[in-house]
Structure 1
Amino acid sequence: MTVWIEVTLQSHRPDGESLGPLADEVQRIAAFADVAPVRTRFSTREIQTETPGWRLSVETLEGARTLCAVQNRSAPMPGFTRYRTFARPAGADLSASVIEFAQADDALAEPLAKAHRHVGPESAMTLESGGEAADVPAPEREVERIEWRVAADGADILASLEISEGQLPMLRLAAPAVNGALDAVFRLAGEVIDAAPFFIAPDDEHESQAEPVHAAKLDLPRTATRREAFVAIAASVAGQWFGNAVASRAGLGDEHVHQLRVAQRRLKTLLKLFRDDVDDAWNTRIAPDLKWFGDLLADARDWDVFTDKTLPVYAESDAAAARWQPVIAAANVKRRVARDKVRDALTSKRHARLTLAFVEWLARFASQEDASPMRFVSFAEKRIRRDYQRIARVPDLVSLAAHERHRVRIHAKRLRYALEFFRSVTSRRTRKDTAKLLGELQTALGEANDAAVAADRLAALPEASDYQRGFARAWGAASARKDAQEGERLLRSMHRPRVKASI
């Protein structure tokens, strides 16, 4: 059975638009120029399988129905998958056809064993003979598809451009997983991104979401290797990053900026934890553009906090609050400029190439095999112990200089993210109490940092008076001591994080 690899791209074009103009742009790419496209329209409906890593659907083309099963053979990650497919004609009795499909191949027997229960009638839920309720089937989707068979760098690539109601157009680049195919598919994806309005697709859960995407909870199996843990965490970061990039297209809000910034910080923590896995390819192809994007996010987030939180607090604490309104208005202008830069970056070719390079690097890393695999539980225990000692051994926070307390805050934040990554193997008290205290410590020390940033920003605003600049400096000095005292209390009341004993 052939194993395929696939890169999935999404278009900027809104849903409901014909594929014609987009297909014309694809056709003008050199690899597609001499290839005749094949156009089809069909309907498809998903059927629940109850088996992770498997998808089952029924497709109807010109009255003929086909059952299609797909087994994901790689760790889930946005924009890339390694899979194998199974197909069989379906008869009038779809439930019976699913049963026959499951019996036709040993590989399908277990994954599709209960899938016939979820076929159901077209209209409503019914009771099966055993008294169990059969689910209402998923609705059918009408799909328009244009396909090209592209020969690129020795690989036979099937390019499928699809659109259905309520979804953005998708371009899937798939090839049999033979030597050189990974290079060819990602190279062609890069050519498409450079020439047409495409970007790496987010995961299915976030492909049409407009709300800000928060970090998903990870539940790594204890049997996972260190490499498998890295891939799963990186894919989770990508889900938050790419999901917010797509969600913000309907309007980039402050929470989108915040969650994009959180995703970048989680990624930075991951790279610190697994520093031995950062290679030359990462440092040359990804790190420079990641810094460019991260700097834009940091500036935009700082202006959001300064404008929406810090300055209103200053105004409320001043007897003459009205004098702060011109400063808040000026800061808001700066905030909009910074946010526009993030918005422009998210729709730029540079960001599209960055996300593609990230997925390509991760796909290559995931495909490599370890000569001597290491259980991630042992790795997690060592890293958590080391990062905890970094903050537990510091002197009294009140006695430290501001930049030294800032370093403690950074280490506390990294430890909190590490506990989130490795939550499945930590004790309940660690997941609840220690993680909560780390968040409070980060917040306490962060308020002092926000005050220091605010003083710098006020100093650079022509609209700010000497009085207001002095006010901010005095506030920052008072805040630094108060927050250091609170941080010290939180730090010393914290229990050492514990990893549950290996099984």
Structure 2
Amino acid sequence: MTVWVEVTLQSHRSEDGSIGALAGQLQRIAAFADMPGVGMRITTRDIPLKVPRWRLSVDTLDGGRTLCAVQEEGIPMPGFTRYRTFARSAGEDLAASLIEFAQSDDALRGPLAKAYRHVGPETGVTPEGGDGETVDVAAPEPPPGREIERIEWRIDTGGADILATLETSEEELPALRLAAPSVNGALDAVFRVAGEVIDAAPFFIAPDETHESETEAVHAQKLDLPSKATRREAFAAIAASVAEQWFGNAAASRAGLGDEHVHQLRVAQRRLKTLLKLFRDYIDDAWHTHIAPDLKWFGDLLGDARDWDVFTDKTLTAYADADDSAERWQTLIAAADVKRRVARDKVRDALASKRYARLTLAFVEWLARFASHDDESPARFVSYAEKRIRKDYRRIARVPDLVSLEPHERHRVRIHAKRLRYALEFFRSVTSRRTRDDTAKRLGELQTVLGEANDAAVAADRLASIPEASDYQRGFARAWGAAAAQKDAQEGERLLRSMRRPRVKVPI
């Protein structure tokens, strides 16, 4: 059975809801120019499966119905997938067709064994079940079908034959799927064409399917790495989860970039930075050349926007609430809000830029190539996780009394605490329950306490750069920062010394 690799791009919906204008732009790209697209309208209906990484649907085209099963392989990541497909014509009795489909290939027997129970009232009674007996397959009303407008191109790249599919529906934004049989040169071909599309048309890497229509900020999902996973598999899975949060917030913010979108985009970048430090040996020249410079550009914009959000909404508001005259701070808050909006506009413009689209494509391509390579020296990640967690914990546990440290030294402790907390999140499936519930919580509290002190120090510097700030307000900020540093250092010291050493629960 052929294994396919596929890059998925997404675009904004046109004013009339059709894909004709997008198809016209694609036809001006060299890869599409001499290949006429074939248009069609199909109805597809998903059939529920409880088996992970499997999808099943029935597609109707020109009155004929086809059962389509897809098995995803490898590490799931936004914008890229590796999969196998199975297809079979469906007769009038859909339940009977599903049973025959499940029995037609050993790979389908388990995943599709009970699929016939979910095809709806049209099935009635099927004379032959999986055990040869009569089976009552009456089921709840199935989910309605989706009408899809689709245009297909067959592209010969010289190295791989690509099936390019542009499609849209009322429920989904237009998507372009570039798929090719997984042979030598396939990855090169699909990503090369994807790059040409991104450069010439309004497309970007598609987010995870669960987030493509959301507008709320996307938080990091809990990871459940198998204890037998290798280091390489663990790295790829963690990187994919970072991409899910990153791309999910980018997609959610297109309807309006809010402060929580900025915050979660910033968190995703920090998680990625922690991951790269945990697995330094996996970072190669391609990463440093094609990804790192633009990642820093985007991260700097996010950092500035996030700092202005905290300064405007949290720090200045706290100053005003603590002062005997909150009114005297309103002009300064308004001035800071202007700078905050400018910083956020820069992030918004960046998210819509070709530079950002190329960055995300380069990230997905790098990760897809990394995940496709054979592991020459496979080793379980558990042993590595235990060593990294122990080392990072010692780094903060052995510091002197936080009260005695200089502000920049306490800030370094905060950074190390943050990295350890992210590491515990990445490796949570192999840590003890007490580590997940207690140590991780204390690390979060320590990070927050030391972060508030750092925010106060940053705020004093920002105030000095705002012309609208008075001498009184600058002095107020310096005094606040000094008091906060002392108080937060004491609380941070208490949290640090009460923290239990993290433990890995799986035998090594």
Q: Give the TM-score band, short-chain normalised.
A: over 0.9
The reply to whether residue 219 of structure 1 matches residue 224 of structure 2 is yes
The reply to whether residue 458 of structure 1 matches residue 490 of structure 2 is no
State the AA in 2 paired with 1:159. A
Determine the structure 2 residue equivalent to 1:385: 390
Deviation at 1:117, TM superposition (A): 1.6
Determine the structure 2 residue equivalent to 1:259: 264
Using the TM superposition, name which of 377-386 and 11-20 deviates more. Answer: 11-20
Residue pair 2:39, 2:150 contacting (<8 A) in 1 also:
yes
Deviation at 1:133, TM superposition (A): 8.1
Determine the structure 2 residue equivalent to 1:84: 84
SS in 2 for 1:373: coil
State the AA in 2 paired with 1:189. A
Residue pair 2:123, 2:138 contacting (<8 A) in 1 also:
no
Residue pair 2:95, 2:123 contacting (<8 A) in 1 also:
no
With structure 1 as the length reference, what TM-score do the two structures score? 0.97
Residue pair 2:121, 2:138 contacting (<8 A) in 1 also:
no
Determine the structure 1 residue equivalent to 2:121: 121
Determine the structure 2 residue equivalent to 1:498: 503
Deviation at 1:320, TM superposition (A): 1.6
Determine the structure 2 residue equivalent to 1:102: 102
The C-alpha deviation readout for 1:85-115, integer Å capped at 9, x for no partner, is 1100001111111100000111111111111
Unaligned runs of 5+ in 1: none
Which of 362, 370, 378 aligns to 1:365? It is: 370
Deviation at 1:372, TM superposition (A): 2.0
Which of 110, 131, 152 aligns to 1:147? It is: 152
**Aligned mates of 1:255, 1:471 — CA distance in 2:** 28
Deviation at 1:458, TM superposition (A): 0.4
The reply to whether residue 73 of structure 1 matches residue 80 of structure 2 is no
Deviation at 1:136, TM superposition (A): 3.5
SS in 1 for 2:234: helix
Deviation at 1:240, TM superposition (A): 0.4
The C-alpha deviation readout for 1:356-385, integer Å capped at 9, x for no partner, is 000000000001111220101111101100
Residue pair 1:15, 1:168 contacting (<8 A) in 2 also:
no
Query: Relative to 1, partners in 2 of residues 1:31 and 1:160: Cα closer, same or farther, differing over 3 Å?
Result: same
Determine the structure 2 residue equivalent to 1:441: 446
Determine the structure 2 residue equivalent to 1:483: 488
**Aligned mates of 1:133, 1:273 — CA distance in 2:** 52
Query: Relative to 1, partners in 2 of residues 1:135 and 1:272: Cα closer, same or farther, differing over 3 Å?
Result: farther
Determine the structure 1 residue equivalent to 2:249: 244
With structure 2 as the length reference, what TM-score do the two structures score? 0.96
Residue pair 2:116, 2:137 contacting (<8 A) in 1 also:
no
Determine the structure 2 residue equivalent to 1:93: 93
The C-alpha deviation readout for 1:194-214, integer Å capped at 9, x for no partner, is 000000000110011111000
Query: Relative to 1, partners in 2 of residues 1:199 and 1:122: Cα closer, same or farther, differing over 3 Å?
Result: farther
SS in 2 for 1:154: coil
Determine the structure 2 residue equivalent to 1:40: 40
The reply to whether residue 169 of structure 1 matches residue 174 of structure 2 is yes
Determine the structure 1 residue equivalent to 2:419: 414
Deviation at 1:134, TM superposition (A): 3.6
SS in 2 for 1:98: helix
Determine the structure 1 residue equivalent to 2:50: 50
**Aligned mates of 2:140, 2:117 — CA distance in 1:** 7
Deviation at 1:122, TM superposition (A): 6.2
Deviation at 1:121, TM superposition (A): 2.2
SS in 1 for 2:74: coil
The C-alpha deviation readout for 1:327-382, integer Å capped at 9, x for no partner, is 00000000000000000000110110000000000000001111220101111101
Determine the structure 2 residue equivalent to 1:27: 27
Residue pair 1:15, 1:166 contacting (<8 A) in 2 also:
no
**Aligned mates of 1:292, 1:212 — CA distance in 2:** 22
Deviation at 1:131, TM superposition (A): 9.0
Deviation at 1:13, TM superposition (A): 2.9
Residue pair 2:78, 2:207 contacting (<8 A) in 1 also:
yes
Superposed counterparts of 1:170-319, under 5 Å: 170-319=175-324
Deviation at 1:116, TM superposition (A): 1.2
Deviation at 1:120, TM superposition (A): 2.2
The reply to whether residue 356 of structure 1 matches residue 361 of structure 2 is yes
Residue pair 1:15, 1:165 contacting (<8 A) in 2 also:
no
Determine the structure 1 residue equivalent to 2:8: 8
State the AA in 2 paired with 1:41. R
SS in 1 for 2:35: coil
RMSD value over aligned CA atoms?
1.6
**Aligned mates of 2:71, 2:168 — CA distance in 1:** 23
SS in 2 for 1:65: strand
State the AA in 1 paired with 2:109. A
Query: Relative to 1, partners in 2 of residues 1:492 and 1:123: Cα closer, same or farther, differing over 3 Å?
Result: farther
Give % identity.
Answer: 78
**Aligned mates of 1:246, 1:75 — CA distance in 2:** 21
Determine the structure 1 residue equivalent to 2:339: 334
Query: Relative to 1, partners in 2 of residues 1:401 and 1:77: Cα closer, same or farther, differing over 3 Å?
Result: same
**Aligned mates of 2:145, 2:226 — CA distance in 1:** 35
**Aligned mates of 1:149, 1:178 — CA distance in 2:** 17
Unaligned runs of 5+ in 2: none
Deviation at 1:409, TM superposition (A): 0.2
Deviation at 1:166, TM superposition (A): 2.0
Deviation at 1:132, TM superposition (A): 9.4
State the AA in 2 paired with 1:203. D
The C-alpha deviation readout for 1:50-103, integer Å capped at 9, x for no partner, is 111111100000110000011112210000011111100001111111100000
State the AA in 1 paired with 2:8. T
Residue pair 2:4, 2:181 contacting (<8 A) in 1 also:
yes
**Aligned mates of 2:428, 2:304 — CA distance in 1:** 31
Count matched residues.
Answer: 500
Residue pair 1:43, 1:140 contacting (<8 A) in 2 also:
yes
Which of 422, 429, 435 aligns to 1:424? It is: 429
Residue pair 2:217, 2:264 contacting (<8 A) in 1 also:
yes
Query: Relative to 1, partners in 2 of residues 1:359 and 1:320: Cα closer, same or farther, differing over 3 Å?
Result: same
The C-alpha deviation readout for 1:413-470, integer Å capped at 9, x for no partner, is 0100111111111000000000000000000000001001110110000000011001
Determine the structure 2 residue equivalent to 1:343: 348
Deviation at 1:15, TM superposition (A): 7.9
